[in-house]
Amino acid sequence: MAAGAERTRASISPPVACVAKGGCSYLRALSTIEHLAGFDSTARSYAAAAARCQEEGCWAAARREEPSAQEVQIAAPVSLKTVATTHSREVSASAFGALEPIPFSRARDVIYDGQGNYVEKRALKFDSLPGEGDALAYLYRYWCGLHAETDCRLTNVDTVHLERAGIIGNLHIVDASSSDPGEFCYELLGYAIPVRYSGKPGAYPVTIYAESIVQDYNMARLTAAPQLHRVRSRLAGIGYHYTRLILPFFDSGGRVDRLVVAIRQERGDGLKIETGN
């Protein structure tokens, strides 16, 4: 869809009442994404629908009846092996997909703070993404197409593809326009992710986790390249285990100003860790 054109979608009859506080979390997330992309009319429509869904039934529940990423192909499929290079910022598997993972070393890749918290992180190859049916693989392929064929700005994102990927709720949007990574801030925080924190990534109350996040976000900004990590951590007695995809998006001058962060929750994510006596 061309930038500047407001988005439309076929209406879906919502079958059940929504119990989310403040209206449907799914629709409110879509409203925020559309607003950040500059489509304010569509954003207002989603926001209004979110406010109504408690009375009229939940549109997000009807969304579960739509085809998933397993069943829907991207309109112009982009291979993880070879990506079109019609845009000035060429992208290919040699640029991203074939990166070697950072060798794992517990001394370097697991950080402890002496207060019972730790963060373990490993870089992954993009070729390790499962492919069909995986939300992160779908989103990465979609981003590769945008990067190859457009200015790769947030306004180029069609939320239909985010819906098809099944990633709404597990998606952050980070304002990374500042040259000071300490000033990065969340413009959208995935409501389905168990880490309940908003504001600046660098202000997260567990310092080692905050520093790890800011370092990775800033690396994506400086290199203008996506990143893929497997993360396992214990923060304040809660275990977190997820795979994270960081995708850079650009401003009108070609500088990274936003990061889209997609999370695949792995087994054990968000569970309390029992400690022995």
For the stretch 6-51, pLDDT in tens is: 544 433 333 345 656 666 888 899 999 999 999 999 999 988 888 8
Select the more confidently predicted residue: 60 or 184.
Answer: 184
Task: Round to whole Å and give the CA distance between 264 and 259.
Answer: 16
Q: What is the pLDDT of residue 234?
A: 93
Task: Round to whole Å and give the CA distance between 186 and 246.
Answer: 13
Percent of the chain with pLDDT over 90: 55
Q: Are 171 and 262 in contact (CB under 8 A)?
A: yes
Q: Are 81 and 95 in contact (CB under 8 A)?
A: no
Whether the per-residue pLDDT at 90 is higher than 50: the answer is no
106-272 homologous superfamily? PAS domain (3.30.450.20)
The full DSSP string for 86-109 is -SSS---TTTTTTPPPPPP-HHHH
Q: What is the pLDDT of residue 51?
A: 82
To the nearest whole number, what is the mean pLDDT of the chain? 79
Q: What is the pLDDT of residue 49?
A: 85
Confidence of residue 55 (pLDDT cuts 50, 70, 90): low
**Helix 40-56 vs helix 25-36: crossing angle, to nearest 10:** 170
Structural domain spans, the chain: 25-63, 106-272
The full DSSP string for 202-252 is GG-SSHHHHHHHHHHHHHHHHHT--EEEEEEEEETTEEEEEEEEEEEEE-T
pLDDT digits (tens, 9 = 90+) for 244-273: 999 999 999 999 999 999 999 998 888 888
Percent of the chain with pLDDT over 70: 70
Task: Round to whole Å and give the CA distance between 215 and 196.
Answer: 20
Highest mean pLDDT pick, 82-91, 103-112, 202-211: 202-211
Confidence of residue 52 (pLDDT cuts 50, 70, 90): confident
Q: How many distinct helices (H) and strands (E) make up the chain?
A: 7, 8
Highest mean pLDDT pick, 123-127, 224-228, 235-239: 224-228
Apex CA 87: angle with CA 86 and CA 92, to 5°? 75
Q: What is the pLDDT of residue 275?
A: 63
Tokens for 57, please give them: 């039934």
Confidence of residue 108 (pLDDT cuts 50, 70, 90): low
Answer whether 0.85 is exceeded by the pTM: no
Confidence of residue 60 (pLDDT cuts 50, 70, 90): low
E strand or H helix at 171: strand 171-175
